[in-house]
Copies of this chain bind each other. A is one copy, B any other.
Amino acid sequence: NVAEQKSDKGSVFSDLTPEELSATVDYLKKNLGKTFVLATDAKPTDNCIYYVDVKYPTKQQALDYLDRDGEKPKREALAVVFFGDQEEPNITEYVVGPLPNPSYSRDITLEKYKEKLPYYRRPVIDKEYADAYEFVYEKEFSTAPHFLKALGYDGSNFAALTTVPRGFKSGDRSTWFVLFVKVKESCFAVHPVGLEVLLDHKSLDVSKWKITKAFYNGAYFMNMADLEKQFNAGKVEVIEIQNVGPENDIGSMQPKVTPQPGAPLQFNPVGNRYTVHKNQVTFQSWSFTYGMNPNSGLRLFDIRFNNERIAYEISTQEAIALYGSNAPGGMITRYLDGSFGIGRFSFELVRGVDCPYLATYVDTHFLMESETPDTTKNSICIFEQNLGVPLRRHYSNMHSMYYGGLASTVLIVRAVSTLINYDYVWDFIFYQNGVIEAKIHATGYISSSFYYADGKEYGSRVGEHTLGTLHTHFINYKVDLDVGGLDNSIMTQDMKFNPLNIPWQPEVKIQRPKVVRSVLETENQAAFELHTMTPRYIHFSSNTTNKWGHPRSYRVQIASFAGDFLPEESPVQKAMGWARYKLAVTKRKDDEFVSSSIYNQNDPWTPTVAFSKFINNENIQNQDLVAWITVGFLHIPHSEDLPNTATPGNAVGFFLRPYNYFDVDPSVHSPDGVYFQSD
């Protein structure tokens, strides 16, 4: 029952090929009339290409092509350029097309953002980090030789971890770098040395950068020279770092016993029962396209069941983590992973651990801080998984003797991103009964602070000098459901007990549950704050009805263990405003294509994309609607987070479930059905 993929039309959503990436860069370099320096060499005062990604056609254009035999949209690229070598340094976004042989480029910055993009909002590139580390290790550290010697620094055994945001107001670019012991066979991130330095790297002139504060083991200093002075005066108690080896490494992932392969494995007796053709996947009645946004990660388009579109887009938008600590880097940290690159850092998957051994592994191509494309081999896996549980079953021993059932096998699309220390496993899961699930598992290393004083108020001590710092994870998804067409409304259902005088015994009163339904009128009504009571059923509902007269709909069911989001008085909360809502439904707009921005991280005080603006009380009845779903969990680390956070209990996500959409469960058409009778 494999859905037929009659055409290659899904290629309209494909990521750029290496050739297309190169052609875009070549075109810009030839036609913009600017001098470019490779990002890996670029000083802040140079121009460089930050990244290139596909620029999709508008939804209207895409649907004209997909559904109405309209013209194939032009293939275009989005190129993000850092202009440091310009009178008014800035970030500019270009659309370049048509690919593969571009003939035009267009500066879309103003159109897209209604403002120019100040240069200070740019993400920190590797070269800027390298310059920062050089500044810290070569220049600043040279002012504190005795202290560093006492600490155990040998000139190369420290690693620095960036924190964000980088200051307290727009234009600031002051980063606390937290110092850790490098560990050859494991991760530095759980071995803090107690030293943190605040580098002001706002100036485009690297020689003007300076350390404006240092922190060691609970005390603040003007800079490393000040720390050295206090140390020499006997006022600083130094805790000498220990060499970390497998025996005392809480972060060691080396098995403590000899591995004995033998875990159960899945095999596919008839080979793959799904197809992966370029960016297009089919599995039983399902078809969809997949791609990888270098910033925000996996993106699926044109998700259909029985060739009828259920969602135009389902994609990850952003992942954030808000920390608390008694050390400076930890206490201010609010990571917006999209600005680091959830897709870019989705590395090669390991067969048999990250995905089943026999999964289909595909490569992604990207161009970032470079002028030539890079390939990450095997960075997305696609596989069918037998969940080991029935999708449905019934054993009948009354009146008729039979058994019917179906093993639940699903198609999973997965990528795993590693953002420095921690890892997210991103799954999109397709069930045989029309259900789609999105699920994220958290794993990898926790962040940590140097353990001192009242550290336990901010987490658990998990090592001799390591404090696992509390944080809350929030992840945002865009779900552009198109249920039975574009025009949808939000229907809610819940239950309510009502007193009832029993019809056949009216003196008796019982409590009877009844369905309570409503249709939400406005975006504001459909913006559900994190910890408010919410109708238990929330549906994207269509104007069409099923055989039994009910509106065909898909239910959005969220599974989340979210902690608290920042209070309104926080000056950075608007940069991640989506996290205020477990679910917000808005009228879809071309210019509200994403809920976050890579520029929000370094200027959260004036967010480039402020999600709250999407919610402006527009009517949401019979409209093309988008659900923005936030899931998350509060993470107070504990010893068992070492060496890595484990996935059990640390998975959150949501289900999209057909609800009166079909006339019966479509899995009756599955080839896996089992049915037998006896007398």
A350 at the interface (CB under 8 A from B): yes
Closest approach, in angstroms, between the C-beta of A286 and any C-beta of chain B? 14
Q: How many copies does the complex hold?
A: 2
In the complex, chain B residues whose CB is within 8 Å of the CB of A655: 648-649
Bound state CA distance, A670 and B43, in angstroms?
A: 48
Bound state CA distance, A186 and B457, in angstroms?
A: 59
What string of 1s and 0s marks CB contacts (under 8 Å) between A173-205 and chain B? Answer: 000000000111111100000000010000000
Bound state CA distance, A358 and B539, in angstroms?
A: 40
A300 at the interface (CB under 8 A from B): no
A511 near B671 with CB under 8 A, answer: no
Bound state CA distance, A496 and B642, in angstroms?
A: 24
A564 at the interface (CB under 8 A from B): yes
Known A-B contacts A461-B548, A647-B408; A394 and B636 likewise in contact (beta carbons under 8 Å): no
A275 at the interface (CB under 8 A from B): no
B510 near A457 with CB under 8 A, answer: no
A518 at the interface (CB under 8 A from B): no
Closest approach, in angstroms, between the C-beta of A168 and any C-beta of chain B? 5
A471 at the interface (CB under 8 A from B): yes
List A380-425 residues whose CB lies under 8 Å from chain B. Answer: 383-386, 388-400, 402-409, 412, 416, 418, 420-421, 423, 425
Known A-B contacts A392-B646, A508-B168, A674-B259; A385 and B159 likewise in contact (beta carbons under 8 Å): no
B408 near A644 with CB under 8 A, answer: no
What string of 1s and 0s marks CB contacts (under 8 Å) between A284-323 and chain B? Answer: 0000000000000000000000000000000000000011
Closest approach, in angstroms, between the C-beta of A15 and any C-beta of chain B? 21
In the complex, chain B residues whose CB is within 8 Å of the CB of A403: 350
In the complex, chain B residues whose CB is within 8 Å of the CB of A641: 665
Known A-B contacts A168-B502, A352-B407, A460-B548; A389 and B508 likewise in contact (beta carbons under 8 Å): no
B400 near A185 with CB under 8 A, answer: yes
Closest approach, in angstroms, between the C-beta of A382 and any C-beta of chain B? 12
In the complex, chain B residues whose CB is within 8 Å of the CB of A460: 548, 550, 660
Bound state CA distance, A429 and B433, in angstroms?
A: 25
Which of the segments A26-34, A566-574, A587-595 contacts the partner chain?
A566-574
A675 near B254 with CB under 8 A, answer: yes
List A240-296 residues whose CB lies under 8 Å from chain B. Answer: 250, 252-270, 273
Q: Which residue of B lies closest to A198 (CB)?
A: B504
B431 near A644 with CB under 8 A, answer: no
A668 near B255 with CB under 8 A, answer: yes
What string of 1s and 0s marks CB contacts (under 8 Å) between A531-546 and chain B? Answer: 1010011000000001
4 closest Cβ pairs, A-B complex: A253-B404, A255-B673, A262-B270, A324-B513
A-B contact pairs, 7 of them (CB 8 A): A253-B394, A262-B273, A265-B386, A332-B502, A348-B395, A352-B674, A497-B567
